[in-house]
Amino acid sequence: ETGVTQTPRHLVMGMTNKKSLKCEQHLGHNAMYWYKQSAKKPLELMFVYSLEERVENNSVPSRFSPECPNSSHLFLHLHTLQPEDSALYLCASSPSDSPYEQYFGPGTRLTVT
């Protein structure tokens, strides 16, 4: 399936590195989301963009910085991460008039060493 794609699929980075996660959706949706999924924890919503404007930021540390240049692309810029930030980072998109109909990408498995 190519509805929502994410790159890279796997990423190992040191605590001093800077990296970016990329998400692209081909569904014509207007809202995009970043979630974090850690082992034995529920998915945590990190950021919501609707019509390219950030509408929600769930008190995420500033070492995570989102960017939404257009309605099809979403980035998550990472810098000076901590080992506890290791997790699966999932991108999702939805039509702006059906925000609960979310389609997820395959995720980026991030390991911080």
Partner 1 sequence: RKEVEQDPGPFNVPEGATVAFNCTYSNSASQSFFWYRQDCRKEPKLLMSVYSSGNEDGRFTAQLNRASQYISLLIRDSKLSDSATYLCVVTGGGNKLTFGTGTQLKVEL
Q: What residues make contact with partner 1 under the rule CB under 8 A?
A: 31, 33, 40-43, 45, 48, 50, 55-56, 90, 94, 99-107
**Least Å from the CB of residue 60 to partner 1:** 14
State which residue, 80 or 102, has the beta carbon closest to partner 1: 102
State which residue, 44 or 80, has the beta carbon closest to partner 1: 44
The torsion angles phi and psi of 84, rounded to 5 degrees, stand at: -70, -5
Of the candidates 40, 25, 17, 49, the one whose C-alpha atom is nearest the C-alpha of residue 87 is 40
State which residue, 67 or 99, has the beta carbon closest to partner 1: 99
The torsion angles phi and psi of 85, rounded to 5 degrees, stand at: -80, -5
**Least Å from the CB of residue 13 to partner 1:** 20
| Residue 36 CA: distances (Å) to CA of 8, 21, 97, 104, 107 | 15, 12, 24, 12, 9
